[in-house]
Structure 1
Amino acid sequence: MMATTLLLLLVLAGSGLFVAAVLGVLGYSLATFFSPFPLIRGLGEVAWSSSADFVLVAVPMFIMMGELLLRSGITDSMYKALDRWVGHVPGGLMHTNIAASAVFAATSGSSIATAATIGTVSIPNMERFGYKPSLFLGSIAAGGTLGILIP
């Protein structure tokens, strides 16, 4: 049985079908053949429970929140205010990145949303003032990790 399944997998995958479709059809047909439980009843529950996971729902919502704050101009105003506050320190825009990431992390709690939002606001300022990309991208990445540390 194992050899037949492997041969069927290789034939279907070699025929040019999508790998996901091959694995899905083969897995469903084998599970239907060997299981006494009618799998079509449980398929909806499996699809719903895997798509209703916290990470799959929360991260896009936090990114949408960051995009709304970005489009409304709130994050740009916050970034400018923090730049006036800590901008006089050597490497001021780097410190501004970290401070803005901390403020945004306190509202979102998501590292991905923090890095995406602050990166979108800060990269044009960094390029305008001539910072090296490796330096300011490192500060954005480090500031993004605050999203999970400061909920």
Structure 2
Amino acid sequence: MTHSRAVLGRALAIAAVCALLGAGGVLDATHAVLLGCAGIAAVVLSAGRTEVSQEEWPDRPYASRAGGRSGVSDLGWQVFGQDRRVRPHVVRRVQELADARLDLAGADADPADATRLLGERTVSGLASGQPPTARTLQAWLDAIDRLPDERNTR
């Protein structure tokens, strides 16, 4: 059924219902005609609008900004959750980074060496599993960054 036939069918159905209400004595003739006019107007007006599912969103150009700023911006949005704390996947990645750097420093198996190299607060924070604040994450990364990045064989 085409669109105009569907609109015509709805309008005729409303007219028929209003005629029955007026003829049956439920509504007086004036109110039945007014109800029919309002119903037909609503059908015609709703037929003229576009369905939401048929509307297409305009294409947004995702141009890559110079200097990698786009990647840094995306990373910034992915790091923090709605509670303004660091998300768990970022904490796991920092823990993996700390383990790898401790391994390079030769302190991978000894917790005392890890505490000596990273500091008590960093080691306990990484082991706690609690999502840190941005400031705490920065302190962890600073402590990891101070580790030597060359293999230490002792």
TM-score by length of 2: 0.21
Rg larger in structure: 2
